[in-house]
Structure 1
Amino acid sequence: MSGFEKTDLGEMSAAELSALFASGKASPVEAAKASLDRIERFNRDVNAFAYVVPDLALEAARESEARWKKGEPLSPIDGAPTTIKELTPVKGIPWRRGSALGATTPSDKEFLIMQRLRGAGVTVIGTTTSPEFGWKGVTHGPAFGNTLNPWRTDRASGGSSGGAAVAAALNMGVLHEGSDGAGSIRIPSSFSGCFGIKPTYGWIPADTPTALFELAHRGPLTRTVEDSALFLNATTGPTPLAMYGTCPTPVPDWKETIKNASVKGMKIGYSRNLGYAEVQPDVAAAVQRAAERLADMGAIVEEVDPGFANPQDALIALWYAAEAKTVMLANPTPEQFAMMDPGLVKIYEKGKTYSATDYVAAEQVRADLKVCMALFHEKYDALMLPTMPVTAIEAGVDFPGGIEGKDWSDWSPFTYPFNMTGQPAVSVPCGFDKGGLPVGLQFVGPRYRDDIVLKLAAAYQAAWPEEFLTAPRKPA
């Protein structure tokens, strides 16, 4: 292996592995074994995986190795150890969807995003955990238990892409597919200390029915912005199979858009709290420091709120109606209802009570919000704000402090507005609270200008990189 130890490969990024594969200094098989070794060492403490598939992974890695040896890789991420959120079916792996109602036999189907990742040659090493049907912003549920924060294992990973974020934070694989309907990529990215992007709706086409329609985005969680750009290169692009949204052409080379990224002259609107939310002091201080750093880097940073009222009630109408439809399609028996997450059952019951006129009214709020943000971006290249108002909450609860509020989204007010608008939004690590838990910085860009938020995140990460974990940390 020309001097590269297995543990060294396990610390590599997808981009670094690609360079090693091209030079022949390491192979996809060795990289897969390194990732599987990290899962073996770390996963027992964090519970990030639904299924790990060493045999399937090594078979795919051997095929990738043969392609690299011939000088015919399918893409720069050919052979990259990759995980898939268990809400996305993967051939050969049971499609549980975090639920006692999910399939327990290996799937025989895959969605378009998986077909594109296969076409890029990735090595799928397993599927990562999600709450039941991805219904909430934390990852614990009846199928696989509780996914824990790698920075402090008595805290939540965030969700619903919690397993993906934890796998990214610990480099148990280098590319991690996730999905985001109200914050489900950005919440765990912030809580678990990795990078995540919810792309503009449409870049990654949805080729399957979903009751969430254009709220539900798919995207990557990774340690580096560069790796997410490589993932996007493999998965973005139009298709006649798209059921919702549109994908413009030409599609940018996302990796090229972040080459030598600079923020100089970019005009950033900085909102501390959107005008309506409370923010933990440690989080506010970290985001304020990031704003000052960006100004020092040459960005024009102006403090401003976009000017919309909290759209949570509209989000709840859309979300609860969608979750009710999802549960109805699963058609649980009374015995199966008893095995479901009680919180999801409550949402199902509430969701059934919404009328068509309630839904239309919520859609109008969404439409008005899109106009508000489009007008905001007439003046500003990007909006900057905290990803989350708090750092990781206690593990195993839906509400911090055990005090039940209106909805779990109470404690994630900065994520769901941008699902409603379909805009690109990223979370990049920008420091830690006093207890050593990560803080996420969010950038939101105009629709289809994912290059802007990727550039901002790449430039910030290059100038102010945060530490990576070497192993899960238990509470003192």
Structure 2
Amino acid sequence: MSAKTDLGEMSAPELSALFAKGAASPVEAAEAALARIERFNGEVNAFAHVVPELALEAARQSQERWRKGEALGPLDGAPATIKELTPVIGIPWRRGSKLGNKEPATHEILIVKRLRAAGAVILGTTTSPEIGWKGVTHGPAFGNTVNPWRSDRASGGSSGGAAVAAALNMGVLHEGSDGAGSIRIPGAFCGVFGIKPTFGWVPADAPSPLMELAHRGPLNRTVEEAALFLHAVAGPSPDALYGACPPDLPDWSGAARGSVEGLRIGYSRTLGYAGVAPEVAAAVERAATRLSEMGAIVEEADPGFENPLEALRTLWFAAESLTVDRIAPTEAQKAEMDPGLIAIAEKGRGFSARDLLLAEEVRARLKVTMAHFHTRYDALMTPTMPITALPAGIDFPEGQGMSDWTDWSPFTYPFNMTGQPAVSVPCGFDGEGLPIGLQFVAARFRDETVLRLAGAYQRSFPEAVPDRPNLHARA
């Protein structure tokens, strides 16, 4: 394989090595990333806001630190993006909504502060559906974010812009959030790596009605970059509103370079309740065989829980109803909002305190079931998604008995309810050239296990990345 010469194609570790030798600068890397955004974004709509002036100023500061031998670490100068649901000083914080604040934000939360402290150069914010309410990325405020592999297909969501930016390397670090699959869904659809870390590693210092369902983490082309991202943003904080964080961080970068030898994997094709497309099932079956050949101990095993979808919807819809009510839209303003969001908010208002307590009981039992599973297995392996990317612009396929986007993502949300680490790593393509994702789940605060599995698998079986958006007419 020939050496890379285009800075815009390089990973965070590759850029850092060049900065250290003086062979390239953070300013050049930022310019290359901004050029890729200029070249590709009009075809995929991954960005809500791009801030070249702010990015280049941060890159110049990084360049000076490298020149003086005072770099802040391996991510100093790395071009980065933030999901538009996360406030960034100097960028309007719209939260995917036409009703959002159009003035530049004046505050940031801890994950952004820590990325800045690591030297990351923020290029802009990536698209999300309104308030991140669904697993696809389209809505009234920013339009439709489409899949780089086929522009007539969905990017997934709600971190769809981040996944598309990662797939096309419009920056090397991409922050996302995941309340029911919103990192892993677009990761699988777009063919990139995404991790929902154990809830608590990244302190939740922003109020959210989703509370411990809502995780923040990275989407990247490589597992190695995701580990570096986690090292930069994880760790205890007195400002954490929910959850708890251990005082010491594991060596996630070392884990991402590790072997799967001897790891016990419980392989569940369906979790006991999900239907899976044949091409997805075949790709995951092939991955199970490969992992066995790599030295892992792979056994068929279902964790043994019933589908917790209705409990998830109770928690999710009630939270979204509170968020909408805090916006307090007029009837005229509601007409400017995503009608699907308005519909689930209305359902959420109908739940009682008793309903929420019953949903929390389901969540508690699910935690115990998975804790027992992990006394036997280091990790659970499933498909990330039962399908490849659905047509762009719809919330769910019609005529298939579905009523909500959660119907087509049965493998993701259980592990938001338990707070466990879960990743999606690419494991092949279907006959239409659309990526397929493989999910690993580990016990709480054992994120090194999923990074070890995903890192070893990706090194042994790297999948293609798009060199440009693949344009298709929409039906």
Given the two structures, how large is their TM-score scaled by the length of structure 2?
Answer: 0.98
Indicate if the aligned counterparts of 2:187 and 2:437 stay in contact, CA closer than 8 A. yes
Indicate if the aligned counterparts of 2:251 and 2:448 stay in contact, CA closer than 8 A. no
What do the CA deviations read for 1:67-112 (whole angstroms, capped 9, x no partner)? 0101111121011000000000000000011001111010001001
Residues 1:465 and 2:462 aligned together: yes
Indicate if the aligned counterparts of 1:6 and 1:34 stay in contact, CA closer than 8 A. no
Residue equivalent to 2:195: 197
Residue equivalent to 2:99: 101
Residue equivalent to 1:410: 407
Residue equivalent to 1:86: 84
In structure 2, C-alpha distance between the alignment counterparts of 1:283 and 1:224, rounded to whole Å: 21
Residues 1:373 and 2:370 aligned together: yes
Q: CA deviation at 1:5?
A: 11
In structure 2, C-alpha distance between the alignment counterparts of 1:19 and 1:282, rounded to whole Å: 39
Residues 1:215 and 2:203 aligned together: no
What do the CA deviations read for 1:112-145 (whole angstroms, capped 9, x no partner)? 1111111111000010000000000000011100
Residue equivalent to 1:307: 304
1:276 aligned to 267, 273, 277, which one? 273
Counterpart secondary structure, 1:379 = coil
Q: CA deviation at 1:253?
A: 2.8
Q: CA deviation at 1:251?
A: 1.1
In structure 1, C-alpha distance between the alignment counterparts of 2:464 and 2:360, rounded to whole Å: 41
What do the CA deviations read for 1:380-412 (whole angstroms, capped 9, x no partner)? 000000000000000000012475723210000
Counterpart secondary structure, 1:317 = helix
In structure 1, C-alpha distance between the alignment counterparts of 2:61 and 2:322, rounded to whole Å: 41
Counterpart secondary structure, 2:6 = helix
Residues 1:71 and 2:106 aligned together: no
In structure 1, C-alpha distance between the alignment counterparts of 2:472 and 2:126, rounded to whole Å: 23
- The residue type equivalent to 1:34 in the other structure is A
Q: CA deviation at 1:296?
A: 0.4
Residue equivalent to 2:139: 141
Residues 1:389 and 2:376 aligned together: no
Indicate if the aligned counterparts of 2:7 and 2:15 stay in contact, CA closer than 8 A. yes
Counterpart secondary structure, 2:216 = strand
Counterpart secondary structure, 2:49 = strand
Residue equivalent to 1:357: 354
**Unpaired segments ≥5 residues, structure 2:** none
Indicate if the aligned counterparts of 2:218 and 2:226 stay in contact, CA closer than 8 A. yes
Residue equivalent to 1:328: 325
Residue equivalent to 1:341: 338
In structure 1, C-alpha distance between the alignment counterparts of 2:138 and 2:252, rounded to whole Å: 33
- The residue type equivalent to 2:272 in the other structure is G
In structure 1, C-alpha distance between the alignment counterparts of 2:305 and 2:161, rounded to whole Å: 32
Q: CA deviation at 1:7?
A: 6.8
Equivalent residues, number? 472
What do the CA deviations read for 1:24-76 (whole angstroms, capped 9, x no partner)? 11000000000000001111110000001100000000000000101111121
What do the CA deviations read for 1:8-36 (whole angstroms, capped 9, x no partner)? 10000011111111111100000000000
- The residue type equivalent to 2:67 in the other structure is K
Residue equivalent to 1:175: 173
Residues 1:161 and 2:139 aligned together: no
2:59 aligned to 38, 58, 61, which one? 61
Identical-residue share of aligned pairs (%) = 69
Indicate if the aligned counterparts of 2:424 and 2:440 stay in contact, CA closer than 8 A. yes
In structure 2, C-alpha distance between the alignment counterparts of 1:393 and 1:383, rounded to whole Å: 25
- The residue type equivalent to 2:205 in the other structure is D
In structure 1, C-alpha distance between the alignment counterparts of 2:122 and 2:244, rounded to whole Å: 28
Aligned CA distance change for structure 1 residues 110 and 404 (closer, same or farther; 3 Å): farther
Residue equivalent to 1:35: 33
Given the two structures, how large is their TM-score scaled by the length of structure 1?
Answer: 0.98
Indicate if the aligned counterparts of 1:6 and 1:30 stay in contact, CA closer than 8 A. no
**Unpaired segments ≥5 residues, structure 1:** none
Counterpart secondary structure, 1:400 = coil
- The residue type equivalent to 1:367 in the other structure is A
In structure 1, C-alpha distance between the alignment counterparts of 2:405 and 2:151, rounded to whole Å: 21
Q: CA deviation at 1:257?
A: 2.4
Aligned CA distance change for structure 1 residues 267 and 5 (closer, same or farther; 3 Å): closer
What do the CA deviations read for 1:190-231 (whole angstroms, capped 9, x no partner)? 000000000000000001210000000000000000000000
What do the CA deviations read for 1:221-279 (whole angstroms, capped 9, x no partner)? 000000000000000000111110000021113212223x1011100000001010100
